[in-house]
Amino acid sequence: MLMQALTWPRSIKRLVVVTLDLGLGLLAMWLAFSLRLDTLHWPEGLQWLVYLLGPAMAFPVFVHMGLYRAIFRYNGIAALLTTGRAVTTYGALLLALLLLAKWEGVPRSVGILQPLILLLLIGTSRALGWFWLSGQTRNARHRLLIYGAGVAGAQTAAGLASARQYTLRGFVDDDPRKVGSSINGARVHGASALPALVEREGITDVLLALPSISHERRRDIIGHLSELPVRIRTLPSLTDLASGRVSVTDFQDLDIVDLLGRAPVAPDQELLERNLRGAVVLVTGAGGSIGSELCRQILRAHPSRLLLVDHSEYALYGIHQELQAAVAAQQDGAAACCTLVPLLANVTDEAHMARICREHQPSSIYHAAAYKHVPMVEANAAEGIFNNVFGTLSVVRAAVEHGARHFVLISTDKAVRPTNVMGASKRIAELVLQAISACGRQPFGSARTPTRFSMVRFGNVLGSSGSVIPLFRRQIAAGGPITVTHPEVTRYFMTIPEAAQLVLQAGAMAEGGDLFLLDMGEPIRIVDLARRMVALSGLTVRSDAHPTGDIEIRFIGLRPGEKLYEELLIGDNPLPTAHPRILRAHEEHAPWSDMQPRLEALRRAALAGDTPAIMALLRQMVPGYQPAGPASP
């Protein structure tokens, strides 16, 4: 019956509550007369009119004051206060009417007794309805512990009181002064009691309500929780909690940084803003994973104009709308002075890119536009070469001819001793910038101020399109299997904000022809990342040793052009920079005079779609390029 009532249309539910209140109004009037006259009352004469006038006066007052806009199962102190104000207003009107009318047989005190009784009846009905509905949480599928008995934890507990999908079984906190106390009737336990508590209470979820703790402490807590058969959830950041309201819909899976297992690289704000504040900045691939984050962070550095270049209308529309909202939210800040210019353009169109640079005169260009998915580029070598190599050359030429002072290329660790077309194409793009930077004259006949070129090379970006993180999450949600190409495959990882910060800071340190890379720590085995994600979801890995596990990890073989491990550096002994986690590398490259004829031959092969010729030219142009053999079955 309860579940059926919850599915009724809102209008039906409201009609039921109005009918209940009218009935309670009549009951309150009968009780008021009976108490005043000291007998079980039956109305006579004008008393019938008072019985009818009471509900008739109460209904419009209650509607006007919003009593029927509230939802029973979300009622709280505010709703009860509104009810009190509405009944008080109605009572004042009723008493005034009885004092003025002076009807025979109608005691004036009824005007005081009836509203008081009505307030008691309506308040009781609302409380009973709330308990009736919220009582269903005893059958909730998720039995929850909140880790953190502070303000965020208490707010969360208050929000959970009306959430039928969760049952709060208690709090956990590291502060011994809080252990043994209770919040909203839920006991606070010490962290050491967690394993026994999970087993005894059948806990399914642990919510981290610790928005202000350090990354290191958060990582330690997650490490201990990952050994328990629970799903670990988290609250939004302190900024998102500033409103003081917490909803169960705010619960999130662990942040990508938690999966990374290390603290992100701290940015240097002066480096971030050095080439951006008050400047005209152009970002190609602005709608992509890296390009869009670059745009967000560039906007915070207060450029005068931000040019968003992308060939995808949908992606360009999305980032433009997002940044417009960010500018509107900072009407009193410097970001509001930034002009956003969305530009639909393909970087391989030299004339269009030249026209953009001529019209807007960007001083800094961040080239993020590229095809990056290894199997896709391997299967479409000509398009990959044309976009990644000649798209880069097109933007470089426009930058040089129209006086851009800084040009930063976003590269990849797959450019180091590449085994696939994507990596080789990115290495050629690097070689183009290095050769032009080392050229004693302007390669395109321009007499303008030389552009300062730099490249930023980094590993895989967590959470980007095509990343394993969203893929693994989908596979876990579907019940598995998780597909991993090889048990020994490893990758370097960083977050999207880290990657964007590195690009901006490296560009500010460039002297010309620089190749920057990030000290990313140790590479991570993909299968270990998969196991960690399964554990943090409160599930177990199914294997020969544990056949009753929840999620299978299935090895499917290396994809075409895929390497077991990636490298960031071709040579040895990278040099330090002003940033403790950014390194500068010096690698051998061909002079521009040698590059030009090979680039023309590569262009002809790409335009003709001649894959064998493309592969032959890549072997000539990219030292260390060794195409991988057929993928494992």
Q: Give the per-residue pLDDT at 163.
A: 55
Residue 87: closest CA among 62, 63, 53: 62
Number of folded domains that form the chain: 3
Query: Do the Cβ atoms of 148 and 210 come closer than 8 Å?
Result: yes
Residues of the chain falling short of pLDDT 70: 1-11, 68-79, 129-141, 158-165, 184, 235-266, 331-336, 440-442, 445-449, 462-467, 519-521, 538, 561-563, 565-573, 628-633
Looking at the fold, whether 188 and 318 belong to one and the same domain comes out as no
Q: Which residues pair with 525 in a beta bridge?
A: 490
Looking at the fold, whether 36 and 160 belong to one and the same domain comes out as no
Q: Give the per-residue pLDDT at 447.
A: 57
Residue 340: inside a domain? yes
Looking at the fold, whether 128 and 203 belong to one and the same domain comes out as no
Residue 527: inside a domain? no
Query: Do the Cβ atoms of 170 and 187 come closer than 8 Å?
Result: yes
Looking at the fold, whether 291 and 425 belong to one and the same domain comes out as yes
Looking at beta carbons, which pairs linking 233-241 to residues 24 or more positions away fall under 8 Å?
233/205, 233/206, 233/207, 233/208, 234/207, 234/208, 234/258, 235/152, 235/156, 235/207, 235/208, 235/209, 235/211, 236/211, 237/211, 238/211, 238/212, 241/152, 241/155, 241/211
Instruction: Say how far apart CA 624 and CA 119 lie, in whole Å.
Output: 84
Q: What CATH code is carried by the domain that includes residue 301?
A: 3.40.50.720
Query: Do the Cβ atoms of 518 and 582 come closer than 8 Å?
Result: yes
Q: Would the pTM count as exceeding 0.75?
A: no
Looking at the fold, whether 176 and 113 belong to one and the same domain comes out as no
Q: Give the per-residue pLDDT at 209.
A: 80
Looking at the fold, whether 222 and 289 belong to one and the same domain comes out as no
Looking at the fold, whether 496 and 447 belong to one and the same domain comes out as yes
Question: Which domain-ending residue is among 135, 163, 195?
Answer: 135
Looking at the fold, whether 340 and 313 belong to one and the same domain comes out as yes
Looking at beta carbons, which pairs linking 56-63 to residues 24 or more positions away fall under 8 Å?
57/90, 57/93, 57/94, 57/97, 58/21, 58/22, 58/25, 58/87, 58/90, 58/118, 59/18, 59/21, 59/22, 61/86, 61/89, 61/90, 61/93, 62/21, 62/86, 62/90
pLDDT single digits (tens) 224-254: 887 788 878 776 554 444 444 444 445 555 6
Question: Which domain-ending residue is among 92, 120, 135?
Answer: 135
Residue 631: inside a domain? no
Residue 238: inside a domain? yes
Looking at the fold, whether 499 and 427 belong to one and the same domain comes out as yes
Phi and psi based region of residue 48 (left: phi greater than 0; alpha: psi -120 to 50; beta: remaining): alpha
Query: Do the Cβ atoms of 413 and 568 come closer than 8 Å?
Result: yes
Q: What are phi and psi of 582, to 5 degrees?
A: -110, 130
Residue 528: inside a domain? no
Instruction: Say how far apart CA 455 and CA 180 lie, in whole Å.
Output: 57
Phi and psi based region of residue 113 (left: phi greater than 0; alpha: psi -120 to 50; beta: remaining): alpha
Instruction: Say how far apart CA 175 and CA 566 lie, in whole Å.
Output: 43
Residue 220: inside a domain? yes
Looking at the fold, whether 239 and 275 belong to one and the same domain comes out as no
Instruction: Say how far apart CA 326 and CA 421 lie, in whole Å.
Output: 38
Q: Give the per-residue pLDDT at 137.
A: 45
Residue 479: inside a domain? no
Looking at the fold, whether 284 and 234 belong to one and the same domain comes out as no
Instruction: Say how far apart CA 571 and CA 589 lie, in whole Å.
Output: 12
Instruction: Say how far apart CA 301 and CA 364 lie, in whole Å.
Output: 13
Query: Do the Cβ atoms of 414 and 423 come closer than 8 Å?
Result: yes
Residue 536: inside a domain? no
3-state secondary structure of 274: coil
- Domain with 89, as residue range(s), is 2-135
Question: Which domain-ending residue is among 135, 163, 196?
Answer: 135
Range 89-104 burial, b when 16+ CB lie within 10 A, else e: bbbebbbeebeeeeee
Looking at the fold, whether 216 and 196 belong to one and the same domain comes out as yes
